[in-house]
Amino acid sequence: MAPRSPRVEDVVSDLLVLHATDPATVYLSVLARAPGLTRDDIRTAMYERRDLVRVLAMRRTLFVAGRDDVPAIHAGASLGVARMLRTRLLKELVKTPTDPEVPDPQAWLAGVERGVDAVLRTAARDGRTLSGAEISTAVPALRTALLPTTDKAWDVRRTVTSQTLALLSAEGRIVRTEPRGSWTSRHHAWAPIESWFPDGIPELPEADARTLLARRWLEAFGPATPDDLQWWTGWNKTHTRAALARLDLVEVTLAEGPGIMLPGIEIPDAAAAPGAALLPALDPTPMGWKHRTWYLGEHRERLFDRMGNIGPTVWWDGRVVGGWAVRAGGEVVHRLLEDVGTDAAAAVAAEAERLQVLLDAATFTPSFPTPLDKELRA
């Protein structure tokens, strides 16, 4: 009898979070690791069982996390992001010309918060979610625009709808729900957080939450360096050291220098049979560490953009050996960046064929195109 495929929730828990900047990454990260699952399985876990939650958290990045991990992520990372977003928005409303004028930004924001809460709760009672455009129609203050102050091409009129909703999501008041359109759509709808957590996200002291989050990260990505943890979380050195100081850790020596791991964690057997995988852009594995030479080799320049975001990667035997992309017609193409041998190349080609069937002609473009991705899609 063939082994049963793990549940979607199990895959996510093993990885701690899935990057969700690109909606397709959520699906492809799971499907790469659990061939027996389908896109419908993932959608059901997210939007029907609601065991998975979209959160704005570490490094002001959008993730999908399991319900059990959300309290630690929220208090350990999201609340810090929320404070930064609130400060930035209020500062912009004070210093930047607006249309209409906002004489009292604090009062304006408080009114917007009440309005968004009210319209989303009303919609939820009717079993509906609302898009950003629908919310801003019901709460006209959200259409307040920040006006350009220079002649720079990037300095344009922009409404505060998106950044205000992002702030409220980071504060744990609202949540991104199923997008309008296909599974690759970026047009998310919104609901009150009570749609996922009837009593709100359980509260934790922030210091305790950071320690819990550090432990969960080490379970998923250890052994690693404290520098890796600080980069992944976006914490400062003080918070990183304090979180680690409360854990029972084992010191190890890594290629990058002194490392740490949790006691009792088994390191995978290096002699295990090698395997091929096509991981999507921003997959949690290559985005799990700051220091990546040990699995990336000499391929960084081709596979990362200038901001440190990785594109779609081909893996063999636990390391990156190439990249892949989806062309306009839905064709999955890949390129090996080193000689991996005939058997490995055949396994990679078979995995590319499997992925093309799963995509069923769907196409998407990573938010952060990399040099090799651009070449393959040309």
**Token pair of 210 as six digits:** 């950071």
Per-residue 3-state assignment (H helix, E strand, C coil) for 124-187: HHCCCCEEHHHHHHHCHHHHCEECCCCCCCCCCCEECHHHHHHHHHHCCCEEEEEECCCCCCCC
H/E stretch holding 261 reads strand 257-261
Alpha helices in 5-104 (DSSP H): 8-15, 23-33, 39-43, 70-73, 79-95
Cα 207 from Cα 251, distance rounded (Å): 23
250-286 as b/e: b if 16+ CB within 10 A: eeeeeebeebbbeeeeeeeeeeeeeebbbbbbbbbbb
**Token pair of 62 as six digits:** 């959008």
210 with 243: CB under 8 angstroms?
Answer: yes
Q: What sign for the dihedral angle of Cα 46, 179, 89, 231?
A: positive
Please calculate the CA angle 170-174-178 and round it to the nearest 5 degrees.
110
- Among 33, 38, 40, residue whose Cα is nearest residue 10: 33
Topology of the domain covering 70-195:
Arc Repressor Mutant, subunit A (1.10.10)
Cα distances from 259 to residues 58, 112, 229, 270, 287, in angstroms, run: 21, 46, 11, 19, 18
pLDDT at 167: 98
Cα 58 from Cα 54, distance rounded (Å): 12
Cα 132 from Cα 222, distance rounded (Å): 39
pLDDT at 273: 67
Cα 197 from Cα 61, distance rounded (Å): 21
Residue written as token pair 């190890």:
252
Q: Where exactly are the structural domains of the chain?
A: 70-195, 223-266, 276-377
Q: Is 297 left (phi over 0), alpha (psi -120 to 50) or beta?
A: left
pLDDT at 329: 86
H/E stretch holding 107 reads helix 105-125
Cα 13 from Cα 2, distance rounded (Å): 23
Specify the DSSP class assigned to residue 6: P
Cα distances from 341 to residues 216, 337, 348, in angstroms, run: 36, 12, 11
Q: What is the mean pLDDT of each run of 10 residues along the chain (378 residues)?
A: 75 97 96 93 97 97 98 98 98 95 96 97 96 97 94 91 97 96 93 97 98 97 95 97 97 89 77 83 95 88 91 95 94 95 96 93 92 93
Give SS3 for 238: helix
Cα 149 from Cα 306, distance rounded (Å): 28
Beta strands 332-336 and 319-326 are antiparallel
**What pTM, to 2 d.p., does this model score?**
0.94
Give SS3 for 325: strand
H/E stretch holding 373 reads helix 371-377
Specify the DSSP class assigned to residue 64: E
Cα 177 from Cα 124, distance rounded (Å): 12
Burial class (CB in 10 A: 0-12, 13-18, 19+), 372: buried
321 with 335: CB under 8 angstroms?
Answer: no
Cα 340 from Cα 317, distance rounded (Å): 10
